[in-house]
Chains A and B, each alone.
Chain A
Amino acid sequence: AQSVTQLDSQVPVFEEAPVELRCNYSSSVSVYLFWYVQYPNQGLQLLLKYLSGSTLVKGINGFEAEFNKSQTSFHLRKPSVHISDTAEYFCAVSDPGFQKLVFGTGTRLLVSP
């Protein structure tokens, strides 16, 4: 069965610093990969997704992620964070042909001035 590991439960960072949120998945077959963000009292919002093609994926709000098949990773990065990026970030995976998303436990990004 698919699983997703987000090793960091919480990442504190100062405003304008770069950040990387780590995500590893378990699969030996092709997968689709997603990053969602959840702001307080809101639903999950898609940041970006990898389906195929270029391994570097750009998303909304200046985020990007790189698919690394050999390391089964899909880490999320942003070169300079804002206070407004404070939120919970979820990595998710799905198998082609299936609808369900399998989520990681989430990483809380805390941006301070």
Chain B
Amino acid sequence: EPEVTQTPSHQVTQMGQEVILRCVPISNHLYFYWYRQILGQKVEFLVSFYNNEISEKSEIFDDQFSVERPDGSNFTLKIRSTKLEDSAMYFCASSTEGYRETQYFGPGTRLLVL
């Protein structure tokens, strides 16, 4: 069964460094998402992406964050200058349509900012 994959599974970085989290969505999906879960807190929506542009974003998704689909298979989340509070599990998801349809989640990347 097709699945969403994410790399790396764990990443440790120093505060102020840039990180890029990578995701390979399911191949025939058109909508892509990033969510994050700070330890002990809710899973929070960050951004959705369709047709090479952001379709929705939350207030969390500020200028420090950006997303890109650099080729036909990868979907990336970049954090330009990491803060301690960016430490979280980051989940990528994809779906065939924008709403009503099931969002399929990857296993997550655990980011630790020191």
Cα distance A41–B3 in the bound complex, in angstroms: 15
The prevalent SS among residues of A at the interface is: loop
Contacts of A106 in B (CB 8 A): 42-43
Q: Which of B80-114 contact A (CB under 8 A)?
A: 91, 93, 98-100, 102-108
B35 to chain A minimum Cβ distance, whole angstroms, is 8
Mark interface residues in B40-72 (1 if CB within 8 Å of A CB, else 0): 011111001000000110100000000000000
Cross-chain pair count, CB within 8 angstroms: 57
State whether B100 touches A41 (Cβ < 8 A): no
Assess the B42–A99 pair: CB atoms within 8 A. Answer: no
User: Which residue of chain B has the shortest Cβ distance to A9 in the bound complex?
Assistant: B40
Which A residues are within 8 Å of any B CB, using their own CB?
32, 36, 41-46, 49, 51, 90, 92, 94, 96-106
Q: Which 4 A-B pairs have the closest CB atoms?
A: A43-B105, A100-B45, A44-B105, A103-B43
